[in-house]
Amino acid sequence: MSLLLSPLTALAERLGVSPESELLALAVTHSSYAAEHDCRSNERLEFLGDAVVDLAVADLIVNEYPELDEGSGSLVRSRVVNEASLARAAQRLNLGDFIRIGRGEVKSHGLERPSLLADAFEAVVAALYLERGFDAAKTFVQVSLGEDVASAALSPDDVDPKTRLRKWSEAGGRGVPVYDVTSDGPAHEMSFEATVSIAGQLRGTGKGKSKKIAETQAALAAWERRRDA
């Protein structure tokens, strides 16, 4: 029996997959919905989609931006393949209109959370990859994120907070920042808290709905306190 809901037809047509694609229906099924309805969630597709997105963006950087060396290309990719960027891509696709979430997520406005949107984007990419192959998935990713790559390529050294903190710490002979992350709450509504230590001293803490967000917030806090180091 197909899991597909009729509103998914528009998304299926946009992706060039069958309106009866169970993979696409699975891609928009959040774990909170799956727990309430005893069905599978999009978590495994998210895992695959993460790798597909990463490769598609790397392919775009290598082929369209030959002026970027390996280091600069890596920085550009890190600024594009992240939760905030993927969430924005999901919003441009109106992906939130299709994602199935549980009652608790509805009450807490889960569809506004960047982590949920980013995960769904990756899962949709994986569904497209499995349905139509890598070339179709690559084209979709590159069209969806092409402007983000172009913007990041204009100033590749404008790095993310974690990279910026690491470079500063290493340049001062303090070594690599060490992150420690703990989580709390049910699987479909987990929260994370991160700490970052430099040279054995606690320098920042952060919280968020994903490990990545918590670590980024901790890095920002440590960066703001760097003159106290």
Q: How far is CA 205 from CA 23, 65, 184, 193, 221, in A?
A: 38, 36, 16, 7, 7
Asked whether 72 and 159 are in contact (CB, 8 A), the reply is no
Q: Catalytic residue positions? A: 50, 122
